[in-house]
Amino acid sequence: MQKNILLCVSGGIAVYKAVALVSKLTQANFNVKVMMTESAQKFVTPLSFQVMSKNDVYIDTFDEKDSSSIAHIDLADWADLIVVAPATANVIGKLANGIANDMVTTTLLAATCPVWLAPAMNVHMYDHPAVKRNIAQLAEDGCAFIEPSEGFLACGYVGKGRLEEPEKITQLVVDFFIKEAGTE
């Protein structure tokens, strides 16, 4: 049975990797829907994700594509897994504190399926006590994390903060569902 992946994309330069992630997940036979923050749309347009996923892209809590349902609740219920990639310090902080002021955060708070966050940010931001505290809170709340890799960052720094490669994230998703199928 085809599994449903909701990819929540928040606004950092690593958004370009999220487009490749949708492609890889779709190639791995997942049904992928994408939701974007306003900031994410500054880096890549929703059309890129629509083309790669062959599904509508969700960007506004109040733009209901089907008037018979509430999109952020339906999408939370639809997903077998939610992946937030890139997960910026902003979206991590909002989710850790229960702030729901956009389509992504309202959907994340309504989710009952597993939620994975793939942080991507400057090495100093990733190491900031507030970000560490928020990550620890989300881990305690049951979220899983795909650790960022080390390397050259867009800001010119070298260190931990790069969004994990789309191929690796896709393999983690595949492995998760194989393991889940084995425990049923």
Question: What CATH code is carried by the domain that includes residue 85?
Answer: 3.40.50.1950
The beta-strand segments (E) located in the chain are 4-9, 31-36, 57-58, 81-87, 115-119, 144-145, 149-152, 158-162
User: How far is the C-alpha of 150 from the C-alpha of 134, rounded, in Å?
Assistant: 21
Q: Which one from 8, 113, 143, 155 is the annotated catalytic residue?
A: 155
pLDDT tens for residues 7-56?
A: 999 999 999 999 999 999 999 999 999 999 999 999 999 999 999 999 99
The whole-angstrom separation of Cα 32 and Cα 2 is: 10
Give residues with Cβ within 8 angstroms of 36, minimum separation 6: 8, 9, 46, 49, 57, 58, 59, 103, 104
Whether the predicted pLDDT of 78 surpasses 70: yes
Dihedral sign computed on CA atoms, order 140, 143, 144, 149: negative
Q: Provide the residue range defining the domain that includes 153.
A: 4-183
CB 38, CB 102: distance < 8 Å:
yes
How many domains are contained in the chain?
Answer: 1
pLDDT-derived band at 65 (thresholds 50, 70, 90) equals confident
Which residue do the tokens 């979206």 mark? 91
Summarised one tens digit per residue, pLDDT across range 141-179 is: 999 999 987 766 566 666 677 889 999 999 999 999 999
Catalytic annotation present for 113: no
Q: What is the DSSP string of 160-175?
A: EEEPPPHHHHHHHHHH
Decide: residue 178, CB within 10 A, 0-12 exposed, 13-18 middle, 19+ buried.
exposed
Entry pTM = 0.93
